[in-house]
RNA sequence: GGAGAGGUGGCCGAGUGGUCGAAGGCAACCGCUUGCUAAGCGGUCGUACGGUCAAAAGCUGUACCGGGGGUUCGAAUCCCCCCUUCUCCGCCA
């Protein structure tokens, strides 16, 4: 969420920033500006009246309770109380409308985010590794995995529907090994603290990292029956399956004030991720590129604003380290303003080479959010003991998407006979095997 | 799922209808003092949103005692619902 004061005082700057993202809604910002004005007026009237009421109340405390004046005064104050109540209600109505609106505004792109509205304007930063060349026609991971009997899409469909996969034998072992390898690397070499978070979160958490309210369609909401819905409503929250570990891990410090010395904080977490992939019909329907459930190791960093950009580069390098250790050819792309996620100021996508698609495909997205998420979560730190708390900056990135890593390994390490080499770094996690073959 | 007890400021902990943003203590910060390892004294010591101001400071208003609603002229204090923590029983991985 953006700072309301900043938005109202820099309306044109905000408008221009939004335009760079392709978010153009003249009426919205004008409405917001008017609402902000109304909000201030509502606060002033309500609080002035309330102050009068309180002052009168203090006199009542000292007054002779049995006097006729007291009774008379009490009757008069009854009217004031009703007025205050009405004014407060009006005030919270305006504030509710305003904050709902604020929740729908995207973050402002960083100055250096390239112009452009879609992926064609993304800028390649660097290319790493040599794309494997084959003296045979490379297969895609579906063919390889099915032939090796380590991926089973048909049975997954039978038991769960489209966009699921069953991993079997060394396929499962590979998925598990990758999870271990990634976490071990981030924890032991990159200094991250390991987190194993819940996979179900409240809507508050989803709002904190900004999956809600705008992207409710992409998430799986937990629903049971009418009674469950009623209980949820009474409890004041909904529950969602996490679409990424970013949600529970970032929200770890919601409503907290951290000390400067604690920063930066770096967490790494493995979780399953659940996405409804609404609106992606017909996209990546083949294989395990886009699934309703997938595994991912996520890195999350919290830091002071002045360290944020360096921290973003650092986190990106940690994601790259995984690809490098696995010997997977990839490139780093800086996303243009229009292609970035809703909450990001700047974003690097790591794209791994997939011979089966003859294309680079996203395997990690490393974003710097500024204080956008922190403001929604109310996550702050104290620069020094005497200073007022300030909002943290948050940064996160996949390190990496495990399923897509598995896909990349199958495709980049495939041999003419349909077997697949195991990257050296992974062998300890594969029981010492250096090759996956059909047994 | 059943029974009981709690949730107050960074921490501990008073406070059962009015003068409480909240005693006291600890921690922290600033200063002074002493000087034999750490002590003494004084001060400061919440957050948010408004108003005033060119702005900051300052001053000032309002809100916040787990969350929400209610009663009342007035609620940290009374009532209701919810969340959560602890203990015991049951169940379960």
Give the nearest nucleotide to A235, CA to C1'.
B82
Place of tokens 């917001």: A32
The Cα–Cα gap between A298 and A303 comes to 17
Return the closest nucleotide (C1') to the Cα of A81.
Answer: B73
The segments of chain A whose pLDDT lies below 70 read: none
What CATH code is assigned to A4-102? 1.10.287
Q: Are A347 and A82 in contact (CB under 8 A)?
A: no
Task: Give the integer Cα–Cα distance in Å for A372 and A344.
Answer: 8
Which bases of strand B have any atom within 7 Å of the beta carbon of a protein residue?
10, 18-19, 28-29, 47-51, 61-63, 67-68, 72-74, 81-83
User: Where does A174-251 show beta strands of DSSP type E?
Assistant: 193-195, 200-202, 239-241
**Annotated catalytic residue within A38, A176, A290, A433:** A290
Catalytic residue flag (residue A390): no
Using C1' positions and the CA of A236, the closest nucleotide is B82
| Fold match between domain A4-102 and domain A119-436 | no
Q: How far is the CA of A328 from the C1' of B13 (A)?
A: 59
Gap from A251 CA to B80 C1', Å:
31
Per-residue model confidence (pLDDT) at position A169: 96
Angstrom distance (rounded) from CA A337 to CA A347: 9
* Average pLDDT across chain A, whole number: 93
**Which residues interact with strand B by a CB < 7 Å criterion?**
A 4-5, 39-40, 43-44, 47-48, 50-51, 53-58, 60-61, 65, 74, 77-78, 80-81, 231, 234-236, 257, 380, 385-386, 388-389
Helix axes A308-325, A170-184, angle to 10 degrees: 140
Please tell us whether the domain made up of A119-436 is placed in CATH 3.40.50.12780.
Answer: no
Contact A322, A299 (CB under 8 A): no
Nearest alpha-carbon partner for A176 in A186, A164, A168, A188:
A168
3-state secondary structure of A296: strand
Q: Which nucleotide lies nearest residue A43, CA to C1'? A: B50
Annotated active-site residue A286? The verdict is no
Residues in a beta bridge with A368 = A346, A395
Exposure of A206 in the CB half-sphere (CA atoms within 13 A): 23
Catalytic residue among A49, A163, A207, A404: A404
**End-to-end alpha-carbon separation of chain A, Å?**
54
pLDDT of residue A414: 97
| % of chain A with per-residue pLDDT over 70 | 100
Residue with tokens 């303003």: A337
Give the C-alpha separation, A392 to A381, whole Å.
Answer: 6
Active-site hit among A364, A365, A367, A398: A365
User: What pLDDT is attached to residue A374?
Assistant: 92
What string of H, E and C letters represents the secondary structure of A359-375? EEEEEEEEEECCCHHHH
What is the predicted pLDDT for the residue at A417?
96
Catalytic pick among A95, A97, A143, A362: A362
CA–CA distance, A11 with A132 (Å, rounded to integer): 50
Would you call A365 a catalytic residue per the annotation?
Answer: yes
Look at residue A48 in the predicted model and tell me its pLDDT: 92
Q: How many CB atoms lie within 10 A of CB A384?
A: 8
The C-alpha atoms of residue A408 and residue A328 are separated, in whole angstroms, by 7
pTM of the model: 0.93
Three-state SS at A278: coil
DSSP A331: E
Alpha-carbon gap, residue A268 to A194, rounded angstroms = 5
Spacing of A227 CA from B4 C1' in Å: 27
- Nucleotide B42 C1' to residue A257 CA (A): 30
Question: Could you tell me the distance in Å between the CA of residue A390 and the C1' of nucleotide B9?
Answer: 19
Closest nucleotide to A73, Cα to C1'? B73
- Cβ-contact A391, A362 below 8 angstroms: no
Query: Dihedral, CA atoms, A200, A201, A202, A206, nearest 10 degrees?
Result: -130
User: In the block, which residue shows the tokens 């011979």?
Assistant: A355
| Every domain of chain A and the residues it spans | 4-102, 119-436
CB A29 within 8 A of CB A15: yes
């Amino acid at each position: 969420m953006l700072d309301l004061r900043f938005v109202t005082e820099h309306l044109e700057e905000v408008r221009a920033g939004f335009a760079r993202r392709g978010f153009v809604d003249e009426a919205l910002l004008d409405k917001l500006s008017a609402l902000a004005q109304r909000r201030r007026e509502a606060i002033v009237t309500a609080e002035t009246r309330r102050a009068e009421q309180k002052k009168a109340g203090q006199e009542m405390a000292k007054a002779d309770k049995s006097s006729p004046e007291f009774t008379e005064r009490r009757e008069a104050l009854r009217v004031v109380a009703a007025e205050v109540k009405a004014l407060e209600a009006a005030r919270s109505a305006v504030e509710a409308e305003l904050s709902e609106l604020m929740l729908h505004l995207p973050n402002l792109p960083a100055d250096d985010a390239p112009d452009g509205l879609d992926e064609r304007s993304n800028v390649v930063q660097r290319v790493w590794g040599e794309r494997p060349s084959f003296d045979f026609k490379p297969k895609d991971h579906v063919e390889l995995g099915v032939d090796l009997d380590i991926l089973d899409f048909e049975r997954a469909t039978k038991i769960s529907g489209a966009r699921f996969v069953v991993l079997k034998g060394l396929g499962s072992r590979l998925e598990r090994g990758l999870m271990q390898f990634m976490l071990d690397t981030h924890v032991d070499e990159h200094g991250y603290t390991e987190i194993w978070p819940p996979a179900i979160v409240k809507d508050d958490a989803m709002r904190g990292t900004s999956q809600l309210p705008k992207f409710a369609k992409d998430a799986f909401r937990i629903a049971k029956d009418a009674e469950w819905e009623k209980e949820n409503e009474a409890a004041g929250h909904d529950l969602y399956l996490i679409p990424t570990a970013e949600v529970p891990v970032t929200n770890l410090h919601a409503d907290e004030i951290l000390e400067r010395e604690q920063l930066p904080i770096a967490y790494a977490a493995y979780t399953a991720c659940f996405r409804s992939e609404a609106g992606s019909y017909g996209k990546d329907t083949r294989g395990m590129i886009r699934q309703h459930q997938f595994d991912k190791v996520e890195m999350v960093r919290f830091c002071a604003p002045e360290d944020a950009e360096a921290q973003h580069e650092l986190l990106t390098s940690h994601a790259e380290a995984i690809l490098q250790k696995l010997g997977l050819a990839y490139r780093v792309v800086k996303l243009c303003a229009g292609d970035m996620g809703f909450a990001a100021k700047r974003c690097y996508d790591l794209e791994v080479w997939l011979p089966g698609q003859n294309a680079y495909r996203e395997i990690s997205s490393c974003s710097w959010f500024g204080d956008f998420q922190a403001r929604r979560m109310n996550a702050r730190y104290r620069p020094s003991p005497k200073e007022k708390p300030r909002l943290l900056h948050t940064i996160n990135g996949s390190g990496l998407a495990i399923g897509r890593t598995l896909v990349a390994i199958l495709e980049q390490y495939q041999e003419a006979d349909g077997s697949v080499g195991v990257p050296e770094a992974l062998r300890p996690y594969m029981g010492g095997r250096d090759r996956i073959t059909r047994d």
